[in-house]
Amino acid sequence: MLDTGTHIVMGIALGGLALIDPVVADNPVTATAVVAGVIVGSLSPDVDTVLKLRNNAVYIRHHRGITHSIPAVLLWPLAITGLIHLIIPEANLLHLWLWTFLAVFLHVFVDIFNSYGTQALRPFSSKWVALGVINTFDPTIFGLHVVALLFWAFGADPVITMLILYSIIFLYYLLRFAILKAVRHAVKNTFPNSEEIILAPTIRFFQWRVAVLTKTHHFVGRAYGRSINIYDKFDRKTIPDSPLIKAALKDKNLQAFISFSPIYRWEITKHEHVHEVRLIDLRYRSNDYYPFVAVVHLNENLEILNSYTGWIFSEDKLHKKLDFLS
């Protein structure tokens, strides 16, 4: 997903663009309602962030799922328009709905361009749609919005300003796709026998995370333009079909991890009388560490003692988290 800050500035910018609509521009009450609608609409699909308050497993499985689906894109504008119309009944209902719908649609649409993706095709498909060309926080996109809003604040015509903004952002997206294609081509040349290549953008314009699956190995590295640096190589091993694994896979945290992660490796270790099953996502290597994991501890009777999935940046913190959950 894009970060909340970017969605906020996108909503405000869309409020400026809405003045291209004569019904909005000529009616201050409708304009006020539309600005409120597009800002709320730009944020509303991410209401499922509250799922974090339950646990990471629920959040991972459902974040950007139903709230970003086709029914949600239709229902969010109706709900927001209805609420605003109760507060500002004099506003033009049709144009309030149209601009709010556009805000919700754009939120879901732009979210498919990063590596997390959305289940935007639900209920027809539960597949995650993730194009992987924009980082969760893209400083260029955020910065362009801030500059445009500053021009508006200092008296520039909001419609012309936002049209220029969106034209530049459109070209920026095309450039990102061109770079992604070049990086993928470079990785394919490096690993001509690859079965799967996963590329994820970083906050740095020319740097990309690289994870490659071949018939025998996993490779993890970074691309700097067309230069590919591989940092880690792991044997590709099928996860065993054992009673231990079958018991571990009943855990909600492991299930959530598997539903989300397209490329991971596994480890099984034993600590005294405790079996540990760990799944490690290979997409997010950072400072020689793989922070996105799922871990399950089981006793000798293969009963689950505790488990965790999420982002952990050190073994000490992971052990403290598991001890806390015990």
- What's residue 280's pLDDT? 94
Can you tell me the distance from the alpha carbon of 267 to that of 45, in angstroms, rounded to the nearest whole number? 36
- Extended strands (E) in the chain: 196-201, 207-213, 217-224, 227-235, 264-271, 274-281, 292-298, 304-311
- Residues 41-51 have pLDDT tens digits of 999 888 877 66
Mean pLDDT of 245-256: 92
Residue given tokens 């649609």 in the structure block: 105
**Position 314 pLDDT exceeds 90:** no
- Residues 156-202 have pLDDT tens digits of 999 999 999 999 999 999 999 999 999 999 999 999 999 999 999 99
Greater model confidence, 219 or 271: 219
Report percent pLDDT > 90 for the chain. Answer: 63
Mean pLDDT of 234-246: 91
- What's residue 53's pLDDT? 56
Domain positions in the chain: 4-137, 193-235, 243-325
Kindly list the strands in the beta sheet with 292-298, ordered across the sheet, starting from the edge strand earlier in the chain: 264-271, 274-281, 292-298, 304-311
- 109 token code pair: 């649409």
Greater model confidence, 146 or 324: 146
Question: Please, which pLDDT band fits residue 8 given cuts at 50, 70 and 90?
Answer: very high
Pairing of β 304-311 and β 217-224: unpaired
The mean pLDDT of the chain is: 89
Start-to-end CA distance of the chain, whole Å, equals: 32
Can you tell me the distance from the alpha carbon of 219 to that of 223, in angstroms, rounded to the nearest whole number? 12
- What's residue 184's pLDDT? 94
- What's residue 62's pLDDT? 59
Q: Which of 36-40, 71-75, 203-207, 318-322 has the highest mean pLDDT?
A: 36-40
Residue 203: CB atoms within 10 Å = 11
- Residues 278-302 have pLDDT tens digits of 999 998 888 888 989 999 999 999 9
- What's residue 244's pLDDT? 94
- What's residue 2's pLDDT? 58
Question: Please, which pLDDT band fits residue 76 given cuts at 50, 70 and 90?
Answer: very high
Written as one letter, the residue type at 244 is L
- Residues 12-69 have pLDDT tens digits of 999 999 999 999 999 999 999 999 999 999 998 888 776 665 666 666 665 677 788 8
Can you tell me the distance from the alpha carbon of 209 to that of 263, in angstroms, rounded to the nearest whole number? 13
- What's residue 50's pLDDT? 66
Can you tell me the distance from the alpha carbon of 325 to that of 308, in angstroms, rounded to the nearest whole number? 8
- What's residue 265's pLDDT? 92
Question: From the centroid of its chain, how far is CA 203?
Answer: 14
Collapse the DSSP code of 198 into the 3-class scheme (helix H, G, I; strand E, B; otherwise coil) and give the result.
strand
Can you tell me the distance from the alpha carbon of 33 to that of 35, in angstroms, rounded to the nearest whole number? 6
- What's residue 47's pLDDT? 80
- Decide: 297 and 306 in contact? Cβ < 8 Å: yes
Mean pLDDT of 224-242: 91
